[in-house]
Structure 1
Amino acid sequence: MTKNVITDMSVHMDKTIDSLRKEYQKIRTGRASTALLDDVRVDYYGTPSPLSQVATLAVPEPRTITLQPWEGKMIQAIEKAIMNSNLGLTPANDGKVIRLTLPPLTEERRKDIVKQLKKMAEDAKVAVRNIRRDAIDSLKKLEKEKSISEDDLKRAEKEVQDVTNSHVAKIDEVCSHKEKEVMEI
């Protein structure tokens, strides 16, 4: 029974780390990435649609993203959506393709991004600790119901803490990797 609780807890913690990685992909670094545009929605015949559903996205150069709309008349709508997204990017089009050039990040902006990364990592750690708390509560409930012994509870609590520590270390690793990427010039 304790194995089920610990396995379930570990799965939830893994999902928390995956969620953090996805959030980190959306943060702008010195390099261009189509993930920056994942949250941008374009008005496509009255329906807010993701950019990837109305245009082909590509990264031909390290600091450039190109968008080729599937319909020529969508260029203005896509440009408007990008301008309204607060990404700090200015679209330029040649009538068929929209180009987004990422300006180099200033030192101050890089430090702000690192602060943001650390806050997101701390939020993920809090989520992991909440999952740990829930798992320990479940184990104590099992012990109260006499499904497991007190010794089993102590062993399981130690295992829960070990799993939690390893997930917190993974969060730190993911954060430091992204930090290096952001601070790289």
Structure 2
Amino acid sequence: MMMASKDDEICMVTLEEEEGTLHLRCKGLGVKSGLFYSAIMKVGRKVYLPRDTACSLLNVRVPGQYRKIPFKEGIVFEVSALSINVPLLADPSKVLMHASLSEETPYQMVTYDTMTNTFTEHPNSSDYFDMIRRDIEDAQACDWALVSNNVHLIHTDRLDEDSAHSSFDMDTLQWHKHGPIPIE
């Protein structure tokens, strides 16, 4: 299992038996939980945790061990607060996420290929908000839901009582705009 340690570091925790006694062992992954949303993905027996300039790779058959695999030079991965993390039905080794690949690029849909440790960008075409947040104290917020093979995003400006709806088709990897949703 994954959890934050007392030092606020994401750890892989394993339960091990030693001389008839069970022990919890925590192995830090070098990722602070304060900077972490939900970019953890499991594909088969492997667990991937992309963050910053590398992906931590774990295998459930080798408890407590991990390897950092660097991304291509120039990639600085950061998942957005939306925490979208959905395997593609056509190829479960690829995972759709809402993330940024550098400090200069906005958050957008990206496909992470776990086999090659590479990303494919799917730039936003919805043009609703520059930044997508989920903070309840912020006037502009966004939430999402998976419906069939589409990720639907509902953008809401609570101050102006305005909303917009867009979706991302995971089959065609294309954005679609929809009409506004009335605020009740």
- Larger Cα Rg: Structure 1 or Structure 2? 1
TM-score of the pair, normalised by structure 1: 0.24
Q: In proportion to residue count, which structure has more strand? A: 2
Per residue, is there more helix in 1 or in 2?
1
Give me the TM-score of the superposition, normalised by structure 2.
Answer: 0.24
